[in-house]
Amino acid sequence: MRILCSVRHSAFLTVLAFASLVPALTWGQSVQDQLNSAYKGKVLLLRNFYSDSDLEYDQDGAPIGITTVGPWTLADMEITSVAVTARGIEITGNRVGTWFRNGKPDLARIGKLKIHVTRSVSDGDTEKVLRTVLGNIFVEPGEEFGRSAPEYWRFYFGGTDFKSRSAAWRDALREGNPKAAANDALPRPVFTAPVPVSHPDPTYTKAAGAHHVEGLSRLGITVDPTGATSNIAILDPLGMGLDDQAVLAVKRWKFRPATKDGHPIQVQVNVDITFKCYSSTCP
């Protein structure tokens, strides 16, 4: 099943390397020099995927007054400088988005980002203390963060490709609903597939539009006997916030349900959401 979402725009994609492991701090430098040596030029994922352009944290790295959470594919930060001031630690840089192309992630700058940590830093602060504070703000390189993402990302993080993720998703649904498993194997002569009767398009994110992101977001969904959707899973992402928009749209879709011997049944199907940019609709 293929659904087309149309949008057009163009922009330059800036590809960045993923963050390498943060090097150990070395004493004999100022605290500011140490922080810049450790973090400047690195690309790190914001913990909890906050989407504001100015973020504030307390002395322990806990967020202050931050409530807006966005897609994790728009939540990386390329750190360009770390400054120690009388008010605390100022981290500046670029917000970075993740764009999956041919199954592999590329990174693109999508805006500016500032972080303020309300903490007076002195030479008495140890490497362990500073790492703990910033570790509460950023996901450590190599750290598993999939559990922090919405449930519909679960099978993406649990598989290696579309085939393995799709199989794991279907197996999980069978375990929870043996009757649904029987529906998957219905003979073709007595089975009719679900047909979308209302399928509003997803919204392009500004970041995706600015970088002319096009391609497929591949989902798994359950269509119940009333034609409503549930159990939505991202199985092969496009990135730049578009997969989350695809999920929001599919939640509102309505289908003419699948049938067996003329009776509505519940089935699992894969859906491709095609994003294509056109100037009339791209932000």
The pLDDT of residue 141: 84
pLDDT band at 209 (very low <50, low <70, confident <90, very high): very high
pLDDT band at 256 (very low <50, low <70, confident <90, very high): very high
- The arithmetic mean of pLDDT across residues 150-179, rounded, is 88
The pLDDT of residue 25: 42
The pLDDT of residue 130: 78
CA distance 277 to 203: 11
pLDDT band at 178 (very low <50, low <70, confident <90, very high): low
- The arithmetic mean of pLDDT across residues 90-116, rounded, is 95
Quote the mean pLDDT of the chain: 85
- The arithmetic mean of pLDDT across residues 21-28, rounded, is 42
Q: What are the structural domain ranges in the chain?
A: 20-140, 151-276
For residue 162, is pLDDT > 80? Answer: yes
Are 122 and 30 spatial neighbours (Cβ–Cβ below 8 Å)?
Answer: no
Question: Which of the pair, 24 or 149, is modelled with greater confidence?
Answer: 149
pLDDT band at 18 (very low <50, low <70, confident <90, very high): very low
The pLDDT of residue 52: 95
The pLDDT of residue 277: 84
- The arithmetic mean of pLDDT across residues 61-74, rounded, is 94
The pLDDT of residue 238: 98
For residue 192, is pLDDT > 70? Answer: yes
pLDDT digits (tens, 9 = 90+) for 112-129: 999 999 988 776 776 677
For residue 180, is pLDDT > 70? Answer: no
The pLDDT of residue 176: 63
Q: Indicate the CATH number of 151-276 among 3.40.630.10, 3.50.50.60, 3.10.200.10, 3.30.2420.10.
A: 3.30.2420.10
